């Protein structure tokens, strides 16, 4: 993580009617041709071949890959104000205006200004969802908020994304829901629990699937398999037949 570089300087060069802007980050140079809109990142030592970055959307940073194999990744925003060099071994996500950076066995979060969130490095981390992210540090799995502070103390075997204010966690082979205070709002555990979508979630108990609402009340079922609700409909399988059900 110490390899993360800050922007050193920016300069403009002219070539006929074309005006290029160049930003220098340590050994990396980011250039944009204002006429063509092409963005090229190069390494002064030619350690990494030039790579044309994907066009950004909504001014959010874009993941760019380097090298012929494309197995190293970095971040670049549309104004070239933030640049994280290609130290990442895999692509990770941007959510809640937080960049999740992975380097070897280390994970850290940065804001869209390039500042480290909480100045902590984790053994494992997942992208923010609904304002919280699950992280693992020293064999403890818990949730942090958008400023990097531990928000939910519970040490779980597995912890999934928050959706509609609730997340699925697992302890001792049983899954259940928690709210943003870490409480189990239904006081129940399940063989399997799915994330909420449109106020409804699928759960599995005694080998069969059911749908529950956000009060924990069973609505539909039993089924052999279920999908999530989208636009008021969910795909289910029962007695060898697959069909849609409506709310």
What size, in residues, is the chain? Answer: 247
Q: Which phi and psi angles does 93 have, rounded to 5°?
A: -110, 160
Instruction: Output the average pLDDT for the chain.
Output: 79
State pLDDT tens for residues 178-197: 999 999 999 999 999 999 99
Domain range annotation of the chain: 1-91, 156-247
Structure confidence at residue 13 (pLDDT): 44
Number of helices and strands in the chain (H, E): 0, 25
State yes or no: pLDDT of 7 exceeds 50: no
- Token pair for residue 176? 């259940």
State yes or no: pLDDT of 221 exceeds 60: yes
Q: How far apart are CA 102 and CA 71, in angstroms?
A: 13
Q: How far apart are CA 26 and CA 17, in angstroms?
A: 29
Q: Which stretches does DSSP call E strand in 67-139?
A: 72-76, 83-88, 94-95, 98-103, 106-111, 124-125, 133-137
Q: What percent of the chain has pLDDT over 90?
A: 49
State yes or no: pLDDT of 10 exceeds 60: no
State the pLDDT confidence band at 14, using cuts at 50, 70 and 90.
Answer: very low
Residue scoring higher pLDDT (118 or 143): 143
State the pLDDT confidence band at 202, using cuts at 50, 70 and 90.
Answer: very high
State the pLDDT confidence band at 213, using cuts at 50, 70 and 90.
Answer: very high
State the pLDDT confidence band at 26, using cuts at 50, 70 and 90.
Answer: low
Structure confidence at residue 4 (pLDDT): 45
- Which residues have CB under 8 Å from 45's CB, separation 6+? 27
C-beta of residue 31 within 8 angstroms of C-beta of residue 22: yes
Q: How far apart are the first and last CA of the chain?
A: 48
* Residue tagged 């030039």 (tokens): 50
| Number of neighbours of residue 16 by Cβ within 10 angstroms | 6
Identity of the highest mean pLDDT range in 19-28, 96-105, 238-247: 238-247
State the pLDDT confidence band at 16, using cuts at 50, 70 and 90.
Answer: very low
State pLDDT tens for residues 38-75: 666 666 666 555 554 444 444 555 555 555 455 666 66
Q: Which phi and psi angles does 67 have, rounded to 5°?
A: 80, 160
Structure confidence at residue 102 (pLDDT): 78
What is Dmax (Cα atoms) for the chain? 73
Q: What is the mean pLDDT of residues 126-136?
A: 93
Structure confidence at residue 82 (pLDDT): 52
pTM, rounded to two decimals: 0.73
């Amino acid at each position: 993580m110490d390899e993360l570089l800050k922007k050193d300087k920016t300069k403009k060069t002219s070539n006929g009617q074309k005006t290029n802007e160049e930003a220098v980050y340590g050994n990396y140079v980011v250039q944009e041709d204002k006429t063509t809109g092409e963005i090229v990142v190069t390494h002064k030592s030619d350690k990494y071949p030039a790579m044309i970055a994907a066009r950004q959307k909504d001014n959010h940073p874009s993941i760019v890959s380097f090298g012929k194999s494309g197995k190293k990744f970095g971040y670049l925003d549309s104004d070239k104000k933030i640049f994280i060099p290609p130290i990442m071994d895999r692509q990770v996500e941007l959510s809640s205006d937080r960049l999740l950076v992975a380097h070897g066995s280390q994970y850290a979060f940065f804001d869209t200004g390039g500042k480290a969130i909480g100045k902590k490095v984790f053994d494992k981390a997942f992208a923010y969802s609904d304002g919280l992210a699950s992280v693992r540090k020293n064999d403890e799995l818990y949730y942090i908020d958008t400023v990097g502070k531990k928000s939910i103390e519970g040490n779980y075997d597995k912890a999934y994304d928050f959706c509609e204010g609730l997340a699925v966690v697992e302890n001792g082979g049983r899954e259940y829901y928690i709210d943003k205070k870490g409480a189990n709002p239904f006081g129940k555990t399940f063989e399997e629990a799915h994330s909420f979508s449109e106020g409804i979630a699928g759960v599995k108990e005694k080998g069969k699937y059911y749908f529950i609402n956000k009060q924990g009340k069973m609505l539909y079922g039993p089924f052999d398999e279920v999908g999530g609700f989208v636009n008021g409909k969910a795909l289910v399988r029962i007695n060898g037949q697959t069909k849609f059900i409506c709310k």
